[in-house]
């Protein structure tokens, strides 16, 4: 780009946009196959459901293909009705979006502007960082606790008159940890009514079994919005549909900045079908528990210390950026895709999504081949 072109770009694009970090997704299977010439690939990088979507969801989406010439129901009546019955809510308490990130974008448009502040934690999902900064708001981050959880005491102390939104991923990505009921209750004592609290519960289905997990549906705060998604436990990452629950006034104002006809027709139908198939969800959760136990056992036997996770992924500390890069690159050459965490400012960690039994076997076999050199290279030889 010439100096003149750069000057034009600088004059057109605000500094808070130019300085944004682009979100980096996990490497696609097709891309790795082209690069490496591999035929056996296990993608354990993006926390997707390894069992795939429900047959009920596929049937609904397939039937909907005949109606692609028509706009979808702008009000998504079928999907909202299904959610309202499941969670005992009015339709007016529900908002839908193109993934939960879509709803985060509505929140940024409706509630944030230059001079206002988002309060969150370090080492969490960066999507909302980006959205907040894209509208000129600043982001204040507090550090995680020593066991890699949101530190609610530090967050309470960090609230100021500029704080407009508090973002909490619960469970947190990429650590897999969660704040407890007592911790959530403690934080809410210090949150002013004019501050919006986002509870990003993308991994809710995996965490709800824990007695001290604060299911946001057990609360009815007017300034709290719950975000959930069909991308994880329901296996519908490819069609991007998320949902949010909140006070009617809050939802109605978000609707004013929402794009019409979102989610699209196929996404709405797939989500309706997925909600009908409780056995598929149960199989997903059962597989996750089994593979979690297998993966933790393997990692601990090989002298790694996994962060205790309640999700469908496990994060481990490698000790350095170089060690993380070595594991990522070496496993990639064996056809296993994991997630380095530089973008989350955790370069000395890697994240492993939990797959099918066959995918986890592939991971273990690849690690067995990689570990001798890794141990020698990074001083782990006993």
The percent of residues above 90 in pLDDT, for the chain, comes to: 86
The pLDDT of residue 2:
54
pLDDT band at 141 (very low <50, low <70, confident <90, very high): very high
**C-beta of residue 251 within 8 angstroms of C-beta of residue 244:** yes
Q: Could you tell me the pLDDT band of residue 190, with boundaries at 50, 70 and 90?
A: very high
Return the pLDDT at 39: 75
* pLDDT given at position 31: 72
pLDDT at 321: 97
Q: Tell which phi-psi region holds residue 47, choosing left (phi > 0), alpha (psi between -120 and 50) or beta.
A: left
pLDDT surpasses 80 at 148: yes
Multiple choice CATH, 55-277, 3.40.640.10, 1.25.40.90, 3.10.105.10, 3.30.70.100: 3.40.640.10
Q: What is the pLDDT of residues 258-279, one digit of tens each?
A: 999 999 999 999 999 999 999 9
Residue 291 has pLDDT above 80, yes or no: yes
Tokens of 163: 């704080």
Length of the chain: 382
Q: Which fold has domain 24-51+279-377?
A: 3.90.1150
Whole-number pLDDT of residue 93: 97
Which of 91, 101, 47 has its CA nearest to residue 263? 101
Contacts 24+ apart (CB under 8 A), 140-145: 144/175
Helix or strand run (H / E) with residue 118: strand 117-121
Fill in the DSSP letter of residue 28: P
The mean pLDDT value of the chain amounts to: 93
Burial class (CB in 10 A: 0-12, 13-18, 19+), 159: middle
Task: Specify the pLDDT at position 15.
Answer: 73
Predicted confidence at residue 243, as pLDDT, reads: 98
Model pTM? Answer: 0.91
Percent of the chain with pLDDT over 70: 91
Q: Which long-range contacts (CB under 8 A, 24 or more apart) does 297-305 make?
A: 298/364, 298/367, 302/367, 302/371, 303/380
pLDDT band at 203 (very low <50, low <70, confident <90, very high): very high
Q: Report cis status (omega within 30 of 0) of the bond before 171.
A: yes
Please give the average per-residue pLDDT across 180-199, as a whole number. 97
pLDDT of res. 276: 98
Q: Specify the pLDDT at position 246.
A: 97
Find the mean pLDDT for residues 13-30.
65
Domain boundaries, the chain: 24-51+279-377, 55-277
Burial class of residue 74, CB neighbours in 10 A (0-12, 13-18, 19+)? exposed
How far from the centroid of its chain's Cα atoms is residue 300's Cα? Answer: 26
Q: Enter the tokens of residue 291.
A: 């593979």
**In 10 A of CB 143, how many CB atoms?**
11
What pLDDT does 380 receive?
A: 73
Residue 35 has pLDDT above 80, yes or no: no
Residue 226 pairs with which residues in a beta bridge? 199, 245
Residue of 75, 107, 328 lying closest to 200 (CA atoms) = 107
Rounded Cα–Cα distance for residues 136 and 148 (Å): 29
Q: What is the DSSP letter of 217?
A: G
Tokens matching residue 121: 């934690």
Predicted confidence (pLDDT) at residue 195 exceeds the cutoff of 90: yes
Question: Where residue 27 falls among pLDDT bands split at 50, 70, 90?
Answer: low
Q: What is the pLDDT of residue 310?
A: 98
State mean pLDDT over 128-156. Answer: 96
Residues 82-96 have a mean pLDDT of 97
How far apart CA 25 and CA 130 sit, in angstroms, is 14
b/e burial code for range 4-39 (CB count within 10 A of at least 16 → b): eeeeeeeeeeeeeeeeeeeeeebbeeeebeeeeeee
Average of per-residue pLDDT across 54-67: 98
Rounded to an integer, the average pLDDT of 149-169 is: 98
Nearest in space to 268 (alpha carbons), one of 82, 103, 91: 82
Euclidean distance between CA atoms 90 and 68, whole angstroms: 29
């Amino acid at each position: 780009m010439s100096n003149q072109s750069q000057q034009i770009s600088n004059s057109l694009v605000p500094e808070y946009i130019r300085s944004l970090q682009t979100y980096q997704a996990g490497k696609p299977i097709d891309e790795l196959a082209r690069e490496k010439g591999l035929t056996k690939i296990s993608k354990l990088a993006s926390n997707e459901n390894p069992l795939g979507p429900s047959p009920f969801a596929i049937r609904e989406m397939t039937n909907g293909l005949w109606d692609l010439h028509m706009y979808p129901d702008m009000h998504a009546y079928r999907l909202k009705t299904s959610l309202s019955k499941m969670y005992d809510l009015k339709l007016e308490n529900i908002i839908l979006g193109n993934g939960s990130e879509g709803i985060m974008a509505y929140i940024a448009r409706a509630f944030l502007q230059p001079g206002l502040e988002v309060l969150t934690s370090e080492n969490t999902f960066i999507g909302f960082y980006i959205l907040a900064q894209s509208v000129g708001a600043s982001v204040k981050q507090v550090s995680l606790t020593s066991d890699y959880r949101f530190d609610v005491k530090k967050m309470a102390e960090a609230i100021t008159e500029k704080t407009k939104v508090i973002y909490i991923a619960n469970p947190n990505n990429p650590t897999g940890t969660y704040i407890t009921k007592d911790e959530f209750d403690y934080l809410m004592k210090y949150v002013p009514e004019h501050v919006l609290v986002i509870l990003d519960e993308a991994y809710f289905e995996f965490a709800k079994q824990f007695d001290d997990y604060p299911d946001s549906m057990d609360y009815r705060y007017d300034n709290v919005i719950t975000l959930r998604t069909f991308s994880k436990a329901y296996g519908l990452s490819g069609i991007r549909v998320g949902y949010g629950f909140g006070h009617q006034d809050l939802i109605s104002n978000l609707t004013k900045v929402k794009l019409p006809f979102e989610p699209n027709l196929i996404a709405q139908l797939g989500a309706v079908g997925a909600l009908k198939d409780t056995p598929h969800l149960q199989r997903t959760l059962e597989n996750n528990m089994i593979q979690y136990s297998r993966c933790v056992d393997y990692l601990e036997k090989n002298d790694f210390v996994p962060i205790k996770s309640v999700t469908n992924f496990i994060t481990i500390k490698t000790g350095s950026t170089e060690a993380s890069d070595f594991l990522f690159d070496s496993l990639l050459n064996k056809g296993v895709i994991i997630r380095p965490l530089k973008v989350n400012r955790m370069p000395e960690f890697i994240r492993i999504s939990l797959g099918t039994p066959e995918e986890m076997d592939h991971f273990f076999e690849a690690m067995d081949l990689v570990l001798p050199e890794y141990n020698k290279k990074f001083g782990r030889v006993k």
